[in-house]
């Protein structure tokens, strides 16, 4: 594990909500084949570069912006999940003993893969308040390192199962949407 | 009918195909897994896709009236004009093969995603895997890009899902959860997952979805 790799900032409260852009093209929502409603798929939670790009509500409050200000709602939707879920992991880092998580990870149950959140000003968004609200979700392993994919796969199941979606600025958050 | 000019950048992923002589790539020993790598949509009354087989030959994949049957044609890529190419299409060897409707759906989704930067190798491995693992009763996959060149096929039903992801570095992930959302498979490897194992998982998943929602095809209509 890289000692210089900081994957969690404890000053970000557990109550912080994390927002993630959901592009319409390509569409990162998948249909629930039993209900026909659309929900987040694994493509929304891809681990590359410096981590998973998000906006943190604690930073947004400092900038006095809301979720409505984060994206272009004509081209994007928004997903939301909680910092406490990102950090949740009942047995700590499963790679400490060199054994990657091989399954049986159930959200809220006795074995989960923990992650963290760090603030990171974005260089890509036009609005400086949005830029300063940006952060990254990370796990203990850097992207592109050995075993990071397996670790991240176990981690992102938590996000897939708990994320909510908002398709328009004035609608309610929901686990799935109509298309 | 318009024939789009071919490119060659993805040709290496199709190198397994044996070209006996210019203009004819199809023969009995053809590696079926290597056939599909759609590069262009070929607009005519039939749904068609132009694929490239090396620098000297392209092929047209026509999805005809029955969604489970495709006809493969081949013809020289460098004809002097469109009329010559059309004539060649009519004269070269042809052979039919059976593809699942789910596979045809996946091909068309990838065509729709052709501007999203999916790596050609990741796309080819995804299609090979789907072709080997899906059957005529398979539920259609959701196909998308990961935004970094990767290609993903995913099936979701409640908290249960199967996802296979192919990344440009040559790796794949196979992730699956059960009905409670618990991770029951987390496999990462190089190349492609075991197609028979994936096929068995998709068969079980398809049966369960088909029973719970016999009208699932309407989702993709």
Helix, strand, or coil (residue A19): strand
Interface of A to B at Cβ within 8 Å reads 23, 25-28, 30-36, 39, 41-43, 46, 48, 100-107, 109, 149-150, 153-154, 157, 160-161
For chain B, strand residue ranges (E) read 38-43, 47-53, 57-63, 69-76, 94-98, 142-145, 151-157, 160-166, 171-177, 183-190
Q: How far is B219 from chain A (nearest CA, A)?
A: 6
Confidence tier at B1 by pLDDT (50, 70, 90)? very low
Is pLDDT larger for residue A110 or for residue A2? A2
Report the DSSP beta bridge partners of residue A21: A78
Mean per-residue pLDDT of chain B = 66
Mean per-residue pLDDT of chain A = 87
Confidence tier at A110 by pLDDT (50, 70, 90)? very low
The DSSP bridge pattern shows strands B57-63 and B183-190 to be: unpaired
Whether B34 has a pLDDT exceeding 60, the answer reads no
Q: How far is B156 from chain A (nearest CA, A)?
A: 5
The pLDDT value recorded for residue A81 is 97
Average pLDDT over residues B55-77: 39
Note whether A66 and A60 are within 8 A (CB).
yes
The pLDDT value recorded for residue A146 is 79
Chain B neighbors of A42, CB-CB under 8 A: 152, 154, 161, 163, 165, 175
pTM of the predicted model as reported, rounded to 2 decimal places? 0.75
Chain A neighbors of B218, CB-CB under 8 A: 36
Chain B neighbors of A48, CB-CB under 8 A: 146-148
d(CA A177, CA A29): 9
Neighbours of A121 (CB within 10 A): 12
Q: Residue A74: is it exposed, middle or buried by C-beta count within 10 angstroms (0-12/13-18/19+)?
A: exposed
Chain B neighbors of A36, CB-CB under 8 A: 213, 216, 218-219
- Cβ pair B152:A43 closer than 8 A: yes
The pLDDT value recorded for residue A115 is 94
Confidence tier at A137 by pLDDT (50, 70, 90)? very high
The pLDDT value recorded for residue A77 is 96
Whether B107 has a pLDDT exceeding 60, the answer reads yes
Note whether B75 and B31 are within 8 A (CB).
no
The pLDDT value recorded for residue B57 is 41
Q: Dump pLDDT digits (tens) for A39-88.
A: 999 999 999 999 999 999 999 999 999 999 999 999 999 999 999 999 98
Partner residue opposite B113 with nearest CB, options A26, A33, A105: A26
| Percent of chain B at pLDDT exceeding 90 | 32
d(CA B204, CA B184): 14
Whether B46 has a pLDDT exceeding 60, the answer reads no
Q: What is the predicted ipTM?
A: 0.86
Q: Is B152 on the interface with A (CB under 8 A)?
A: yes
Average pLDDT over residues A11-23: 96
Average pLDDT over residues B4-23: 30
Q: Dump pLDDT digits (tens) for B109-141.
A: 887 787 788 887 788 788 888 888 998 889 999
Chain A neighbors of B109, CB-CB under 8 A: none
Element (H, E) at B92: none
The pLDDT value recorded for residue B112 is 78
Whether A134 has a pLDDT exceeding 70, the answer reads yes
Q: Is the dihedral of CA B205, B127, A79, A7 positive or negative?
A: positive
The pLDDT value recorded for residue A101 is 52
Average pLDDT over residues B62-77: 38
Report the DSSP beta bridge partners of residue B62: B48, B71
């Amino acid at each position: 594990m890289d000692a210089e790799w900081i994957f969690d900032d404890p000053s970000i409260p557990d109550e912080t909500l994390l927002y993630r852009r959901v592009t319409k093209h390509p569409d990162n929502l998948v249909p629930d084949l039993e209900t026909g409603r659309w929900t987040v798929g694994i493509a929304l939670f891809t681990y590359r570069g410096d981590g998973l790009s998000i906006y943190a509500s604690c930073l947004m409050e400092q900038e006095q912006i809301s979720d409505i200000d984060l994206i272009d709602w004509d081209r994007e939707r928004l997903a939301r999940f909680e910092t406490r879920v990102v950090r949740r992991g009942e047995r700590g880092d499963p790679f400490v003993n060199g054994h990657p998580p091989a399954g049986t990870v159930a959200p809220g149950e006795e074995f989960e893969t923990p992650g963290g959140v760090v603030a990171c000003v974005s260089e890509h968004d036009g609005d400086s308040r949005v830029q300063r609200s940006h952060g990254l979700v990370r796990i203990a392993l850097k992207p592109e390192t050995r075993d990071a994919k397996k670790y991240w796969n176990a981690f992102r199941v938590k996000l897939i199962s708990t994320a909510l979606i908002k398709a328009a600025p004035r609608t309610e958050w929901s686990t799935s949407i109509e298309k | 009918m318009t024939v789009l000019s071919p490119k060659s950048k993805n040709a290496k992923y199709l190198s397994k195909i044996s070209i006996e002589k210019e203009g004819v790539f199809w023969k009995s020993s053809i590696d079926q897994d290597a056939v599909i790598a759609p590069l262009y949509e070929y607009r005519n009354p039939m749904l068609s896709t132009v694929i490239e087989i090396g620098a000297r030959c392209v092929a047209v994949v026509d999805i005809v009236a029955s969604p489970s049957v495709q006809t493969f044609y081949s013809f020289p890529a460098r004809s002097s004009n469109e009329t010559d190419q059309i004539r060649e299409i009519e004269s070269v060897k042809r052979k039919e093969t059976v593809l699942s409707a789910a596979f045809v759906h996946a091909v068309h989704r990838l065509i729709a995603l052709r501007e999203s930067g999916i790596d050609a190798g990741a796309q080819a491995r995804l299609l090979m895997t789907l072709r080997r693992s899906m059957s005529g009763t398979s539920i259609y996959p959701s196909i998308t890009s990961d935004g970094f060149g990767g290609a993903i096929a995913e099936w979701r039903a409640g908290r249960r899902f199967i996802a296979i992801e192919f990344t440009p570095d040559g790796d794949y992930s196979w992730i699956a959860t059960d009905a409670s959302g618990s991770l029951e498979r987390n496999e990462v490897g190089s190349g492609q997952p075991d197609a028979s194992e994936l096929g068995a998982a998709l068969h079980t998943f398809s049966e369960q979805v088909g029973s719970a929602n016999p009208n699932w095809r309407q989702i993709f209509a």
